[in-house]
Structure 1
Amino acid sequence: MPKIVVGVSGSLGCLAALHRAAAEARLRRAELWAVLAWETPGGELGGRYSAHVSAVAQCRATAGDRLREALDTAFGPVRPEIPVQGVTVWGSPGAALVDVAQDPDDLLVVGTGARGPLRRLVHRSVARYCQTHAVCPVLAVPPSPLLATYDTTHRRNLWHMPLDPREVV
């Protein structure tokens, strides 16, 4: 059975990717795999050489909670009419998604996220990594326009700037 693999980060931006992946899974009669990648604090070295095995177990449990919360936020208590598999993977997001979507018949769905100049310097693009390394087709889903409006409103509230209701509409 072909699968639709979608990256989940727990952010608001991943909701558009989850909904698009669910729609693709319905159309293709495929299974939906929601994948959340997690890393220990300190990256690979922090997890490999850590004497605190309980810290790694705690990170794994937190990742599972974030995945369940993201699926509940996206779909509510009623899951879509398709099989949904939640998977947490230890590793960087791009590599984890490419590893799960190994079959050429799979479809990998990733959110593009907001990519301002500062963010590009600090964080690598998961979508670009997947497009470069995946053996299956990759569908890059842009964030919802409502997310940009939300971010603008949130920023204005943080800086205590007056908000004109006509700008929100």
Structure 2
Amino acid sequence: MVAIKRAKRDSMQGGPEFTAEVELLSRVHHKNLVSLVGFCLEQGEQILVYEYVPNGDLLDSLSGKSGIRLDWLRRLKIILGAARVADFGLSKSMADSGTDHVTTQVKGTMGYLDPEYYMTQQLTEKSDVYSFGVVMLELITARRPIEQGSNSESGADGNG
């Protein structure tokens, strides 16, 4: 069994970005990360094939939906393991030689996007670090970066 991630037809990610992602995912191997086992980039299709994890994803485990409850010690072990294998070179590998950023159309999951990237449309290594930091905070707090129906910002009067 495998898990398939298929880009939407209207996805703005181009071939070079997809190829850079495949190259990065092909280099990262760790017991706590799902492995990329294949991909397709034909006839406008962008498909990633991952090993199948029967217990669901990290969000399922953080929420208890998978039946696995991650206590603080287990979450800390995941954080440390992820920090040891983190590669902040995805944006760098997509950049043209001689520059330290690449300009693209903004894409990604809200809550994980670097606000500077969102505003400037320039990917830098800081963009990868920002997204990694959001995932680390997600693990520490066991909460999603953006939760539907909640407002984490308080107004000047203290009411949120």
| TM superposition score category, shorter chain reference | under 0.3
- Greater helix percent: which structure? 1
TM-score normalised by length of structure 2: 0.24
Larger RCO (CA under 8 A, 6+ residues apart): 1
